[in-house]
C-alpha cells in the first residue's frame, strides 16, 4: 500500500458500449497514474479484473486497512481524474474510511455504488 494509506482499485474489464476494445477503466487508470506522477503523490493505483458494476463504467474502489471501502461508478477518464485524486486524499485522511458528504468531490457524491465495511 502506498504511503497515503489508500489503494485505488480500477476495474479494467468493462467495455464502452459496443466497442469490444474500448476499456474506459484502462484509460482512467493510465490517466490517474500520469496525474499522480505529475503531482508527485504517493497513491497506489491498481488494476482489477471486475468490480461487477458493468453498467456504470468506469468504476473504481477506494480501499484501506481497517477502513470502509467505497465503490464509485460513472467515471470519466479525463473529466474526473483530479476529483478522484482529491477523493482518494479525503478517504486517506479518515480513520475509518467514511468521508463526510461535504468533503466529497462531485463525482464521488454522484457515483457511489456501495460502501462495504472493513474486514475484521
45-93: pLDDT as tens digits: 999 999 999 889 899 999 999 999 999 999 998 899 999 999 999 999 9
* Gap between the Cα atoms of 26 and 47, Å rounded: 8
Residues 6+ apart with CB under 8 A from 99: 70, 87, 90, 91, 108
CA distance linking residue 98 with residue 16, whole number of Å: 30
CATH number of this structure's domain 7-116: 3.40.30.10
Look at strands 7-11 and 44-48 and give their pairing.
parallel
> What are the structural domain ranges in the chain?
7-116
The model's pTM is 0.91
The C-alpha atoms of residue 86 and residue 103 are separated, in whole angstroms, by 9
Residues in the chain: 120
Q: Tens of pLDDT along 7-51?
A: 999 999 987 766 666 789 999 999 999 999 999 999 999 999 999
Amino acid at each position: 500500500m502506498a504511503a497515503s494509506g489508500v489503494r485505488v482499485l480500477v476495474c479494467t474489464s468493462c467495455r464502452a458500449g459496443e466497442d469490444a476494445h474500448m476499456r474506459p477503466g484502462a484509460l482512467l487508470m493510465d490517466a490517474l497514474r500520469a496525474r499522480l506522477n505529475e503531482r508527485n503523490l504517493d497513491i497506489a493505483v491498481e488494476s482489477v479484473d471486475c468490480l461487477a458494476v458493468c453498467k456504470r463504467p468506469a468504476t473504481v474502489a477506494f480501499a484501506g486497512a481497517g477502513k470502509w471501502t467505497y465503490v464509485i461508478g460513472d467515471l470519466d477518464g479525463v473529466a474526473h481524474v483530479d476529483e478522484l485524486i482529491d477523493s482518494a486524499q479525503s478517504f486517506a485522511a479518515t480513520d475509518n474510511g467514511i468521508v463526510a458528504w461535504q468533503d466529497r468531490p462531485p463525482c464521488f457524491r454522484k457515483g457511489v455504488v456501495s460502501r462495504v465495511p472493513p474486514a475484521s
